[in-house]
Structure formats: C-alpha cells, structure tokens
Amino acid sequence: MNEAYNALKERMAEIADLNHAAALIGWDQQVYMPEGAAQEHGNMLATLGKISHEKFTADETGKLLQELKAELPNLDADSEEYRVISVTAKDYDRATLVPADFIVEQAQVTAVAHQAWAEARAKSDFSIFQPHLEKVVELAQRYVTFFPPAEHPYDTLLDLFEPGMKTADVQTIFNQLRPQQVELIRAISERPQVEDSFMHLEYDEKGMWDFSVEVASAFGYDWQRGRQDNSAHPFTTSFSADDVRITTRWVSDLPYALLFGTMHETGHALYEQGVGSVWNRTALEGGASLGIHESQSRMWENLVGRSLPFWQHFYPKLQKRFPSQLGNVSVEQFYRGINKVEPSLIRVEADEATYNLHIMLRLELEIAMLEGKVAIRDLPALWNAKMEEYLGLTPPNDAKGVLQDVHWSGGMLGYFSTYALGNLISAQLWEKFKSVEPDIDEKMRSGDFSSLLSFMRIKIHQHGRKYEPQELVQRVTGSKIDPTAYLGYLTGKYNAIYGI
C-alpha cells in the first residue's frame, strides 16, 4: 500500500499546484487585473483547469484509488491514510462525471462574466450582465445532468459547497429560523431606535485601514503568510496555509464596512492558516465546507467584533484615531450603534438580525433559476419584489439590488445557504467554547484572543477537510447543525440592546 499511497500523494500534490496557480490568477483577476485582460485570464484559467481536471480524472489516478480503496477496511477510519483515500476517492468519483471540455467552457464563461458583472454593477445596469448570467445558469443546469438524479437538482450544487447537506435540510432549518427572526425584528421595530449617526460621518480611509490591520493582527492573522488588498467584493483566497490573502473594500458613506469586512475575512484566513501541514497539497487542504468556513468569519466579525468586551479594549484606540467623530460617543453608545437593527439593501452590510433573510431570498431565486421557473431577464424585478416581501425595502437600482454580490458571476450557484448555516454553526461553537473558557469576556477586555484561536485551531482548523461538516460540528458540540444556539444568542443580545 505504501507505494500506491505515496504515488497518489505525489499526483495530488501536482494537481494542488495547478489549482493554486489558477487561484492566484483568480486573485489577480479581482485585485490587480487590467480591465481589458478578462479574456486572457479566462484562457489561462481554462488551460490550468483542463490540465488539472485531466490529470485528476486520468486512468492512472483511478487505478491508484481502486487499489487503495481495497485497503480501507484494514485502516483506522480516523487515520490520515483512510481520510486521504476516502475523500480523494469521493472527489474523483464526482470529477470523472464532468467532461474536461465543460471545465474549460466554465472557466472561460465565468472569467468574462466576472468582468461583465463588475461593469454592470458600476453602471447599475443588469442588462450588461444578463447574457453572461444566462450562460452561467445554463452551465449549472448542464452540470447537474452529469450526476445521478438527486432528491432535488439543487442537491448536486449544494454538495459542492456543503458536503452531505440536502436542499430539504436547509429548507427545514430556514423554516425554523424565519418566523422567529421575523418576530424578533418586529419586536425591535416597536422599540426606540438606537443612535448611530457617528457611523455615517466622514472618516479617513487610511486611518480605518490601519485600524483594521491592528485588529486583524490582534486576532492572530499572520502577515508573514498573508496580505490585505482592496477589491470590489471582499474575499479570502489561499494557495496553502503559508499564503492566505484577504481583501476588503472602502465605501465612503459606510466607512465601517472596511473594518468589519476585514474582521470577516480574517476569520476565513485564520482557518486557512491553521489547516494542518499534513494536509498540504492533498485533497484535504482547506476548510471542511463553506458553512464551517463562514462560521469562522461570522464568529470573529460578530460574536467577537461586535461584542461589548471587544470594544471595551479597542474603543479607546479607535477614539484616538478619530477624535472628532467619536470623542463624545461613549463605548456603550458605540456598541449599540454598531449593532443597530435596520433592514438594509446590501447583504454584506446587514445587521445580524436581518442577515439571514438576505440568504433565504437568494436561495429561493437560485432554486427557481435552476428549475427554469424564472427568466433571467426578470431577475431585477423579482429581486425587488422579494426584498419588499422579506425586508420591506425596494432597491433604487440594480447595483444595490440584484447585482450586489459577485458569486453568480463565478458560477457559484449552491453557495448562498452556507452563509446562514455559518451563522448557526458559529453560535454552536461559541456556546461550546464558553463552556470551557467562561472568562472569555474578561480576556477580550484585555485584548487577549489567544484561547479562542487555540480552541478553533484544535477543534476546527487543523482538520482541514478530514470531516464532513455535520460530523465535525457534532464532534465539537455534541449535535448537528441546529438553529437553537443562534436564536438564543440573537434574542439575548438584542433584548438587552433594545430593552425588549
């Protein structure tokens, strides 16, 4: 077995290198690429994707896996070898069903689609993006046909991002969440609104950037293995645990979006930097799922970054940077202001109480697009109608409506429910962490986040893709993904802020 296992690892290392090179081009595409280079980037991504796909799905890979799978009954199911073989085999079985020419076409279509989305968003004109999104959706529909029929066609896309989860599972969770979150929002709306005018004053971009770097450093982000840049939509990308990059964005009329965007992406980056070196250049590098990944970003952004103990430490430093804006604002006023609940147009700027409604809205539209029940040209009107239904708001233009997120341009249908799942998981993990570290509030007041990072490193980060998300959550918390802890967290926090 050793010879076959080493041959498999060597082969997967070369494939990982190709995928890392493609990711580097994708990072450049969103950060530094000249506007006219979209087609050339698409060609490079298509070529790398084709070579990687062909190498992975080659007969030689299949023969190695066939030989190694025969050894699985003799291995400890929790061992490195068992997990590398079983996870790689699952990926291989999926990949061999997808033709190489499809991989090429998808890379070319999404590279151009991303550029079209950026232009459409800048001009607030959905018609620029519409033909590209039509191609993206058609590709998703074709992708589903490569696989055996599932309970729902969306299951096939969801499994790419949240292994083991079904559309029905997500819909059941959302049906539990929706009425209780709507009730909380209704109760908040009947209370006097908190004051947050200080958040909308004019701030210096560099000052906010420098403060965000200070916070990311305190969280534990290793700048020797990472960097931060600007992009149209904040994201994190990883080429290994030793090269994990984040981006944020400056919105002049929403200056705190830069800070909380950095916190969010730092959470993702801490996860990637903490993946065990044993998984480097194997199929198990990276996070267990996007829901688990999102649990890390939402935890550091919200459960830490929007908590009172966090600001009791950091607020004097922020006041010192921005004395004219914050000199007369107490830390308690600041805490209430950054946690103001108010339905908003943009998901990434939404408060915790309304955030999941944005996800539910998009999930419904994605399923309808995949089923062919909506025409892409009608999306702006459908989006606006659902925003009115869910949040009582109508976007004034496409940029603040249907064009606000980058993910569809990258072909990432099946992705969005993971954002809400991440919220739920973050609260479950936080509840478990506080049970073993009850004085975490005091530690945050002194600027010490090391015990939290250590807990996540041991319980979550180091395992990479070793465990599927439901298994991992159950191993750490004792239960599968469940909304109870999150609803308790939201209710307790906002009842106190709004005096409900």
Cα separation, 197 vs 384, whole angstroms: 27
Residue from 288, 285, 281 nearest 9 by CA: 281
Written as six digits, the tokens of 275 are 């993946």
Longest dimension (CA), the chain: 70
Q: Are 262 and 278 in contact, with CB atoms under 8 Å apart?
A: no
In terms of DSSP bridges, do strands 243-248 and 236-240 run parallel, antiparallel, or are they unpaired? antiparallel
Kindly give, in sequence order, each residue whose CB lies less than 8 Å from that of residue 435, ignoring residues fewer than 6 positions away: none
Written as six digits, the tokens of 416 are 């969005």
CB neighbours of residue 500 within 10 Å? 12
- Return the residue matching tokens 């959706």: 137
- Residue 431 annotated to the active site: no
SS (H, E, C) the chain: CHHHHHHHHHHHHHHHHHHHHHHHHHHHHHHCCCHHHHHHHHHHHHHHHHHHHHHHCCHHHHHHHHHHHCCHHHCCCCCHHHHHHHHHHHHHHHHCCCCHHHHHHHHHHHHHHHHHHHHHHHHCCHHHHHHHHHHHHHHHHHHHHCCCCCCCHHHHHHHHHCCCCCHHHHHHHHHHHHHHHHHHHHHHHCCCCCCCHHHHCCCCHHHHHHHHHHHHHHHCCCHHHEEEEECCCCCEEEEECCEEEEEECCCCCCCHHHHHHHHHHHHHHHHHHCCCHHHCCCCCCCCCCHHHHHHHHHHHHHHHCCCHHHHHHHHHHHHHHCHHHHCCCCHHHHHHHHCCCCCCCCHHHCCHHHHHHHHHHHHHHHHHHHCCCCCHHHHHHHHHHHHHHHHCCCCCCCCCCCCCCCHHHHCCCCCCHHHHHHHHHHHHHHHHHHHHCCCHHHHHHCCCCHHHHHHHHHHCHHHCCCCCHHHHHHHHHCCCCCCHHHHHHHHHHHHHHHCC
Cα separation, 415 vs 410, whole angstroms: 11
Exactly one of 81, 162, 265, 468 is catalytic; which is it?
265
Q: Are 380 and 394 in contact, with CB atoms under 8 Å apart?
A: no
Annotated catalytic sites, by residue? Answer: 265
